[in-house]
Each structure stands twice: as C-alpha cells, then as structure tokens.
Amino acid sequence: MIVKSETLTARGRRTRAALLEAGREAFEEQGYDAVRVDDVCARAGVSHGTFYTYFDSKESLFGEVAGAVVGEMFAASMVGPAVPDDPYARVEAANRLYLRAWAANSRLVRMLEHAATTDDRFGRLLLELREVFVRRGAEGLRRLQEQGLADRDLDPRLTAIMLGGMVEHFAHVWLDLGERADEATAVDHLTRLWARAIGLTQASTPRPGGQNREERGEA
C-alpha cells in the first residue's frame, strides 16, 4: 500500500524527500528512459521495497519530480514588489525571470514534453502544469484590459497561451539549441513583441531606441 504524504511520520517525510531528490538527480543525469528504480534507491540509500512504500512506479516518481520543477519555475518567475508598478516593466521582468528559470530546469521540462508524446498520463500532467502559467498570464492581461491599457478584443486565455508559447519556444531555441543572443537583447525583443501583441498603451513604455519621448527631449 502506498503511504499518503499527509500520514507520513517525520522520518517518512525525509525518506520520501530523499527519493524525490535522488529521482531528480537521476533523471537529469541519465534521462527518463535510462533511469531504473534501483538507480534511484541506490542514490537515496534505501531498499527497493522502501521505494514502493512511497511511489507505485518510476512514472509516478517522475510525475512528482516534474510537478516540483514546474512549481519552482513558477515561483522563480514571479514578479515581486521590487519591480516598479508599471505594466511594461513587469512584463519585462517576467520574461527575464522566466528565461532564467528555464535555464535552470530546461532538461527536465523537455524530458516531460518528450514523455508526453508517448504517454497520455504525462500529456495530461503537462497541460495541468502549464495551466498555472496560462492562468497567471490571462489574469494579468484581464487586469490591463480593465484599466484600458490593453486591447479589450483579445481573449485573455488564448492570448496567454499564444504569447506564453512564444516565450517558451524562444527559451528552448536560445538556451537548449544555442541561438546566439545576449540576455538583455532577448528580453527586450520578447517584451516588445508581447507589448505590441496586446496593444499595451503606457506612457512609460520604452520606444525603439530605449528612450521615451520625454527622455529624448521631444514634446
């Protein structure tokens, strides 16, 4: 019988956490297909039977590892109060933080995407995990629309999916496939494209050249 997380003792929680950490290390180093349950057990320092006290399969372990990674990426790409309360600046910060979060976790994310092509369970998991990003993007766009700062004819959810896909695909091409661009240029272009796509109208929105009209001394 699988022991539920909420019923674990302190020792059980430590053992389960050790298995999750060992699984993450094994998946990152060896790839999903090459990892065996015994590999994870050896890394965690537990018996084969102990593994099945907490997880019913390698697949269930991988699902939890992937969920934790996406959760970390979501938290790492949250724009905090230190960023000015300006829509453009916050979109820019979100893009920068997302690229950095992707750089730290891209191997496991791509592994989940690959697994999703052959296993419906992982396909559903991938959609569930991406939903947190979609929901955040849609809510942000909806607020801008209510403030009259973005195109009100855009469907918030579809727009969040499409623009989020743009950023995610660029992150893959840039960080995984080696497209040449420095971070500042990448973030600048992503943010301009995002802002123009939603019709962001904000006096402080940078114009091409990096300055506002006021900063250039124009009327």
Total residues belonging to the chain: 219
Residue 4 has pLDDT above 70, yes or no: no
Using CA atoms, how far apart are residues 27 and 37, in angstroms rounded to an integer? 11
Three-state SS at 46: coil
- The per-residue pLDDT for range 159-203, each reduced to its tens digit, is 999 999 999 999 999 989 999 999 999 999 999 999 999 999 654
Q: How far apart are CA 10 and CA 19, in angstroms?
A: 14
Reduced to 3 states, what is the DSSP secondary structure of residue 148? coil
79 and 90 in contact (C-beta within 8 Å)? Answer: yes
Q: What is the per-residue pLDDT across 113-169, written as a single tens digit (0 to 9) for each?
A: 888 998 888 888 888 888 999 999 999 999 999 999 999 999 999 999 999 999 999
The answer to whether residue 212 scores a pLDDT higher than 70 is no
Distance CA 115, CA 122 (A): 6
Structure tokens at 132: 């947190």
What residues contact residue 97 under an 8 Å CB cut-off, 6+ apart?
Answer: 76, 77, 78, 79
Amino acid at 154: L
The full set of domains in the chain, from first to last, is 5-56 (1.10.10.60), 62-198 (1.10.357.10)
pTM of this structure: 0.78
pLDDT digits (tens, 9 = 90+) for 78-106: 998 888 889 999 999 999 999 999 999 88
